[in-house]
Amino acid sequence: MRTLLNLIWLIFGGLWLALGYVFFGILACILIVTIPFGIASFRMAGYALWPFGRAVVAKPSAGVGSGLANVIWFFIAGLWLAIGHVTTAVAQAVTIVGIPLAIANLKMIPVTCFPFGKDIVDSRLLPPGARPLHSL
């Protein structure tokens, strides 16, 4: 079921969302100082391309630097990518088949806006009793 959802997702919005993340990742990698932002964007591109069966968990080692990076990220790329998610979700919600995809799209917005201090892992590899921040 996860593979089928991922294929439908890929066709009906995932590819375009992932390209948006790749675009911001390339822009961020132009300067040496912003390479961590580019790496985060490429990591999110993989998640936007194939999200079902993955979970977002908090990194226990994240600190003040992650919080500061999240604020900068939000204003430079997170807000624009979140608008892309909302636009795609509205388009997907037009059909009955697209409603679950639209809901998944909206669930990705918190990670889109604040990606630092979080890891994207396979949901099957979560330890028993672990609570993901968000899972598709």
Per-domain boundaries in the chain: 2-124
Mean pLDDT of the chain: 88
Q: CA-CA distances (angstroms) from residue 65 to 59, 71, 116?
A: 13, 10, 9
d(CA 90, CA 99) in angstroms, rounded, equals 9
- pLDDT value, residue 126: 77
Question: What is the per-residue pLDDT across 79-122, written as a single tens digit (0 to 9) for each?
Answer: 999 999 999 999 999 988 889 899 989 989 999 999 998 888 88
Q: What mean pLDDT is predicted for residues 28-41? A: 92
Q: CA-CA distances (angstroms) from residue 126 to 7, 53, 83, 129?
A: 23, 11, 30, 8
DSSP state of 50: S
Please say if the pLDDT value at position 131 is more than 80. no
- pLDDT value, residue 129: 65
Per-residue buried b or exposed e for 13-33, using 16+ beta carbons within 10 Å of the residue's own CB: bbeebbebbbebbeebbeeee
